[in-house]
Structure 1
Amino acid sequence: MKAALIFRKVVHYFNLEAELDDYERIHESIVKDSIFKGTNLWILVFAIVVASVGLNMNSTAVIIGAMLISPLMGPINGMGYSIATYNFALFQKAFKNFSFAVVASLLASTTYFALSPVSTAHSELLARTSPTIYDVLIALFGGLAGIVAISSRQKGNVIPGVAIATALMPPLCTAGYGLATAQLHFFLGAIYLFTINTVFIALASVAISQILKFPISTIVDTAQKRRVNRWISVVIAIVLLPSIYFGYGLVQQERFTENANRYIANVSMVEGNYLLRSSIDASQQAIRLVYGGVNLTDKQKEQIIQKADNFGLNSSSITIKQGLVLNGNNGNNAEAYALRQELVTLSTALKKKQEQIDSLSKVGYLGKTLLREVASLYPQITGCAYAETFQFQKSAASPGKIPVVIFTAIGKGLSNPDKGRIESWVKARLNNDSAKVLFE
């Protein structure tokens, strides 16, 4: 009973019908937003220009502004709602207005980019040319949020957020850039992203409209319903399958880049050769390495390539080039010889520094050794700390380095004679009469 009560409370919290607006008002709102004339048409024109300028100047803030003022969500929601309610007259009207908006946007953006003196493809443009399954999820859940907000009496500020998340206007303008610069891959990638957003926002509208049981205003037979559902399934499959393929490719590229970076860090120094430059081409699964130093032998190159297998990389994807070669000797090629000597000096210094780091890490464990040895004679000693520090004295020009040992004892502790014997033992054990022994 308690579990059933909790379940009912959870269902109540997620119930949409309690805040559902009047069906007539929802219908009027969707129909009004589906029409492109007057105000909506002018807003569309302004949004196209703003988005095109933002993409051209690589300005994220301007692009967000264009997404906020774009009215393209209206006819898309209209198409989804009309499919769910089998209102084919409204679907034709929404589809006609949507097609007009798309054509107008493409013409305006193509004209802008054809006239603009700046034709560089910045990151904001490139981001709209490679859609994946993740864009499907964004469009679907963004569309769900949008239609739920439209259906609710509490509209809130959801619609502007959905407009930003689903990003309808920028892909259209990017497609216009592809047409203006005759780059077909830009056009196709951007149009595909726009199609993903359109289809799955409309699909979200269909789903929520049916879940909320929006009234059907026309008589529809079972065969017609099956035909509509079949077309919906076909369109979803056509749009979804390529995005899954591209999403898989994106994951593989990210994994390749991660493994390649770890591999490059591992082969940055090879027997007197230093990695001068490296590049990763994740799309082609290729790595290019350029070394400087002495001439790499074929055996060294083979060893570098074989290491790729340890990082899950295909060894055939590794290309090794020799950059700066330092083979000068006997005064010939003096500059190259000097550089080579400098590299040798640097390598020696790095090796010494590593040895110092290793020795410092070992020093901290000396306390463990002392504790193990002294505890066999004095079981009441349960802890030992060891460190090396500098001792400064007024009479000395430079400080002296001394070891400091701190023993921790339990119970009654240690007697003064025992402390004296332990202190003498520590100094002999460390071969240092300056060692300081403390007890706590």
Structure 2
Amino acid sequence: MAIIETGWLIHKPEQKHLLPHALDCAEHLGATLEAVELERFVAEAPRYLAQTSHVIALLESSDLGTLLQMAHQHDFSVGLLPVHPKSKVCRLYQIPTKMEDAMPIALDSEKGTQLDLLLCNGEVVSWLVTFGDVPLIELRHMADNQALLWQRLKAMPADLMAVLRLKPKTVLITTAKGHKIKTAIVGALVIENDIESLAEHFANETVVNSNGKLSAVLVAPSSIMDYLSFFLSVLSPNPRLSRSIGYIETASLSLENNEEIHYYIDGQPRSTSQLKFNIIPKAVTVKVGQKFLVAPATTDASKEIIKTKTLPQSEERLTTLKQHLPLFSIAQEEDFKETFVLLRDYACFSMPFVLLMMLSTMLATLGLFLNSTPVVIGAMILAPLMGPLVSMSMGILRNDNKLLMAALQVLTLGTGLTLLVAAVTTFLLPYEQATNEILSRLQPNLLDLGVAVVSGIAAAYAHARESIQKSLPGVAVAVALVPPVCVMGVGIGWFDWNIISGAGLLFLTNLVGITLAGTLTFLCLGFAPVIKVNRGLGFSVLLTVLISIPLYKALENTVVYQRMEKSISTKTYEVNGKTLLLTDVSAAPDGDKIKILGQLHSSELILANDIAGLRDIIGEQLDKSIVLDVSLRLVQ
């Protein structure tokens, strides 16, 4: 290693306290450095360089660009020293974080790597340029500075509020080869040699140093929800390219906006109406660390990478984004074309639909009589009723009478076919006792409406987002229409009005809840503007409110029955000198009385008058007329 004899140590006034240590490290290696402030060196560079052309920088990344620009103009090499262990200069150029370790590299007269220079409006960029409002970038700045955890948490509320105030700016971007992209972005990030930066993380691209090209990351969400999704992708260790992100790699770039552009070069604020970026290849010689990697000599600097297809570019979308960033994306015609084709197919009556309805109905009916939950779930997955329901939601939202009527016809025919098959199956089977699977669908309450609403949201979202199509079987289980219709068919086969009415209320609850939730979900996803909301949606809301009344009453009754069950099962009864205990208690309405079911435990023989006495005691306890239906279990 050949150490220089003399050189200039360039610093800012705020680094003055580091000079003694730096000068001592240099003297220990046999070199003599003279400290010069950056402003003075820039003003009188020719005079200083006439004495010696060896320059060592003790500067932050925000000031290093000025010195690198001088190095390019006057053709001298630059050695680097750490201002502090967490300095960006150490990370950018892979130099040691300790002064005594970095000094030998900076003083080596034989070392030096030729690096490209990134210029922004003629100003050298040593780290990055940021434009617009990108709260995540601000958090990354804090992370780069190794802020304390509480400082980062303190910044989070302000950043979240900033997300709500995001306003896209329409910009015209032109690459070195003349490609023009007109889009609306909330912010951008441009770098050249920061291979550990957000560009690689956001765009999922391999970025290398000094390859003759700059890298631009464009943040262009279509909604606040898209931005939050982008935020979550940043947290992932292996992120995919977000729909809100565009990526450009080119030798030069211009960015134009009709309004004043406020941007930052290495954290320093600037403003202009047009940003012009260009690369000066192999412009300066910098003494970097051993781990610093540069692009291979075979790299084609003329090859451009442009990934902007997911960004808003149509005039319709740019117009909608001009005012503010909506909470949910407003879908454009090209976005939901495939979804519409799929939903229209769902609204068509066909032989496969008939076959699947018959098979799922028979499967569900048999599962109900076998009291087998897995069989009933299998029938839910097999049933094709989810498609017409989702189509009906879209028809209501977009006031598409043709789609709405087609979906309603398919749903009606499917429901009628299910009732017929279930009733015939019940009539042919020798079963006359309702199983728990049947009984569980006779007393719907407000919680069932909640399940229907969540299911409707899931069904609509799954059809609107191709990326989660694999979740459709699970959604089909949630959209449980076939089992209650089959229970209605069982009621028809037994001529039992209580079963028909109870299961019918559950079916209507699921139908209304799923349809309304699906409609609102499509509205939130932007498949129609709010101004298109029509009487169909209003009628759905009204129907949901009306059906909520008996469901709320049923929920109240459920709570009352649960209290009865708890009060009975936690008490020991003394009847005719015998100690009796009831377990597995359940209470249900039975006409104008309450039916109590359970297991009766006793160590003595139970007679009919004992059960009658127990019935009277429980009746007095509840202040209700009851019917007691118990199974006996003797305890030794």
TM-score by length of 1: 0.60
1:365-404 equivalences under 5 Å are none
* 1:273-422 alignment runs, 5 A limit: 273-275=578-580, 281=587, 283=589, 284=593, 314=622
- Partners of 1:255 and 1:190 in 2: how far apart? 24
Among 525, 550, 556, the residue aligned to 1:242: 550
Which of 396, 415, 425 is 1:112 aligned to? 425
- Which of these residues, 482, 485, 493, is aligned with residue 169 of structure 1? 482
- What are the Cα deviations for residues 92-118 of structure 1, in whole angstroms up to 9, with x where unaligned? 111111111111111111111111123
Cα distance 1:246–1:272, how it changes in 2: closer, same or farther (>3 A)?
A: closer
Change (3 A) 1:290 1:317: farther
> Is contact 1:30-1:77 (8 Å) kept?
yes
* Alpha-carbon spacing, 1:19–1:4, altered in 2? closer, same or farther (3 Å): farther
Distance 1:316 1:243 in 2: 23
Give 1:17 shift: 4.3
- What is the 5 A alignment of 1:25-36? 25-36=338-349
Determine the structure 2 residue equivalent to 1:352. Answer: none
After superposition, the Cα gap between the structure-2 partners of 1:158 and 1:273, relative to the gap in structure 1 and judged at 3 Å, is same
1:128–1:190 contact (8 Å) kept in structure 2? yes
> Which of 552, 567, 584 matches 1:259?
567
Q: Would the alpha carbon gap of residues 274 and 319 (structure 1) be closer, same or farther in structure 2, given more than 3 Å must change?
A: farther
SS across alignment from 2:579 = strand
* CA-to-aligned-CA distance 1:115-140 (integer Å, 9 cap, x gap): 11233311111111111111101110
Contact 1:140 1:203 in 2 (8 A): yes
Equivalent residue number for residue 157 of structure 2: 3
Q: Which runs of 5+ in 2 are unaligned?
A: 1-154, 165-223, 230-326, 606-612, 629-635
Give the deviation of 1:226 after TM superposition: 5.2
Amino acid at match of 2:379: A
- Does structure 1 conserve the Cα–Cα contact (< 8 Å) formed by 2:516 and 2:537? no
Instruction: Report what 1:381 is aligned to.
Output: none
Please give the secondary structure, in 1, of the residue aligned with 2:580.
strand
Larger RCO of the pair (alpha carbons < 8 Å, separation 6+)? 1
Cα distance in 2, alignment partners of residues 206 and 61 from structure 1: 30
Q: Deviations over 1:221-254 (max 9, x none)?
A: x8x9553344223211222211111111111111
What are the Cα deviations for residues 44-79 of structure 1, in whole angstroms up to 9, with x where unaligned? Answer: 121111111211222222111110010001111111
In 1, Cα distance between equivalents of 2:485 and 2:464: 28
* Residue 404 of structure 2: aligned partner: 91
What residue ranges of structure 1 are gaps of 5+ in the alignment?
294-300, 321-345, 347-440
Seen in structure 2, the aligned counterparts of structure 1 residues 45 and 270 have a Cα distance that, compared at 3 Å, is: closer
2:228 corresponds in structure 1 to: 13
Match of 1:103, SS state, is helix
Identity across the alignment (%) = 25
The answer to whether structure 1 residue 210 and structure 2 residue 523 are counterparts is: yes
Aligned-pair distance for 1:149? 1.0
Gap change, CA 1:22 and 1:277, over 3 Å in 2: closer
- Give, as a single letter, the amino acid of the residue that structure 1 aligns with 2:398: T
Match of 2:413 in 1: 100
Q: Does 1:64 align with 2:377?
A: yes
Q: Secondary structure at the match of 1:129?
A: coil
Give the 3 Å change call, closer, same or farther, for CA 225–285 of structure 1 in structure 2: same
Correspondence for 1:233 = 541
Structure-1 separation of matches of 2:581 and 2:525:
63
Q: Which amino acid aligns with 2:539?
A: W
RMSD (Å), alpha carbons: 3.8
**3-state SS, counterpart of residue 467 of structure 2:** coil
Match of 1:135 among 448, 461, 469: 448
